[in-house]
Amino acid sequence: MTASGSKNPYYNGPVSDHFDGTRFFNPNGVPPGSFRDVLKWQFNGKRARWPKAVTSPFAGAKPAERITGDDLRVTMVGHATLLIQVAGLNILTDPLWSRRASPLSFAGPKRVVAPGIAFADLPPIDLVLVSHNHYDHLDVATLKRLHKSHAPRIVTPLGNDTIIRRAVPDAEIATLDWGGEASISPGVRIVAEPSHHWSARGTGDRSMALWAAFVIETPAGRIYHVGDTGFHDGINYASAAEKYQSFRLAILPFGAYEPRWFMKGQHQNPEEAVRGMLTCKAAHVAGHHFGTFQLTDETIDHPVAHLRTALDRHGIDQARFRPLLPGEVFDVPAG
């Protein structure tokens, strides 16, 4: 919903427990850092050096056209972009095939590993989930390409539809508030659920479009997809467990988390991701948001090493939480 006559350029709607009439917020949560905090972080001199290019051992994946029955398959593209194949549907999360996660073609975080699936090798895409409007999750160039080639339906939280329609005016978009749902096909629905994050495309629109996690309910089981989140004392994970009981698969971020004093409210670390897995009662996890774009201070291999340590600490089989590399396929066990 476009905000007409409002200070919010994306959305005009009623005040709620997470919208004050202009900006969205995390109830009882941590607000994003100030500009002064950003400068303090950017000039701390602790940013690790990443390699300029990495080749994934799983590069060049060529997905099946459809996955049906009780099967559930996830293929990593890179960062927060995954192909979910379930119940005869092909679903992309936060699709990003561009070279940079940036509004600029010549500056900003640059991809160090190629997409695990070449764009031309995608199967027919039915549905796209866009979790929020940060450039590493909402990439209008990729959405334009997808619309031209596949014309998928897009599901996104409040306000993000305004941004997407500026680039793809005739896209079919379902826009959801937390708790809202969209019916996709017989037996399949998407529900938007809270995550602890924020949003911005520039310097003047902070938190003016909503962020969300998604629950995908299918005949093959429930999937809990979280694009970005701070752990927030596990509150949202506990709520998801109470509402849905359990998940066959959770898709959880566990990278881009250092320094903790700055990132804690917006990006969970590996230990918190494992605690989230346990709290939401996920049988299996596909891990993402690491090793593709350098957004924060940690080394490229830090997230996976610390994830393995956290899994061991909690006595969890490493095979249950898969840190997927671009092109890697995860056939999620049933039950």
**Residue 219: cis peptide before it, omega within 30 degrees of 0:** no
Query: Is the pTM value of this prediction over 0.75?
Result: yes
- 322 occurs within a structural domain: yes
The average pLDDT across 172-199 equals: 97
Question: Going by C-beta distance under 8 Å and a sequence separation of 6 or more, which residues neighbour residue 168?
Answer: 140, 143, 144, 147
Q: What is the pLDDT of residue 36?
A: 83
User: What is d(CA 332, CA 236) in angstroms, rounded to the nearest whole number?
Assistant: 23
- 134 occurs within a structural domain: yes
Q: What is the pLDDT of residue 44?
A: 79
326: its two tokens: 């671009």
User: What is d(CA 267, CA 228) in angstroms, rounded to the nearest whole number?
Assistant: 6
Count the domains in the chain.
1
- 312 occurs within a structural domain: yes
221: its two tokens: 């089981």
- Which uninterrupted H or E stretch holds 262? helix 260-263
Q: What is the pLDDT of residue 47?
A: 86
- Which CATH number is 253's domain given? 3.60.15.10
Which segments of the chain are extended strands (E)?
72-78, 81-86, 89-93, 127-129, 153-157, 173-176, 181-185, 188-193, 213-218, 221-225, 247-253, 282-288, 321-323, 329-331
The DSSP-derived string for 274-334 is HHHHHHHTEEEEEEES-SSS--SSS-TTHHHHHHHHHHHHTT--GGGEEEPPTT-EEEPPP
- 273 occurs within a structural domain: yes
User: What is d(CA 31, CA 200) in angstroms, rounded to the nearest whole number?
Assistant: 13
Angle at 236 between CA 230 and CA 237, to 5 degrees: 95
Q: Quick check: 4 pLDDT over 50?
A: no
Q: What is the pLDDT of residue 1?
A: 54
Contact yes or no for 331/73 (Cβ under 8 A): yes
Q: Could you tell me the CA-to-CA distances from 291 to 129, 296, 299 in Å, in that order?
A: 21, 11, 9
- 174 occurs within a structural domain: yes
Higher-scoring residue by pLDDT: 45, 145: 145
User: What is d(CA 130, CA 175) in angstroms, rounded to the nearest whole number?
Assistant: 10
Residue type, 2: T
| Spatial CA neighbour of 193 closest among 229, 240, 230 | 240
- 319 occurs within a structural domain: yes
- 321 occurs within a structural domain: yes
Q: Quick check: 335 pLDDT over 80?
A: no
Give the model's confidence band at 71: pLDDT under 50 very low, under 70 low, under 90 confident, else very high: very high
- 141 occurs within a structural domain: yes
User: What is d(CA 254, CA 269) in angstroms, rounded to the nearest whole number?
Assistant: 5
User: What is d(CA 129, CA 188) in angstroms, rounded to the nearest whole number?
Assistant: 14
What is the residue range of 128's domain?
Answer: 62-331
Contact yes or no for 150/122 (Cβ under 8 A): yes
Q: Quick check: 101 pLDDT over 80?
A: yes
Sheet holding 153-157, edge to edge: 173-176, 153-157, 127-129, 89-93, 81-86, 72-78, 329-331
Percent of the chain with pLDDT over 70: 98
pLDDT in tens, 299-332: 999 999 999 999 999 999 999 999 999 999 999 9
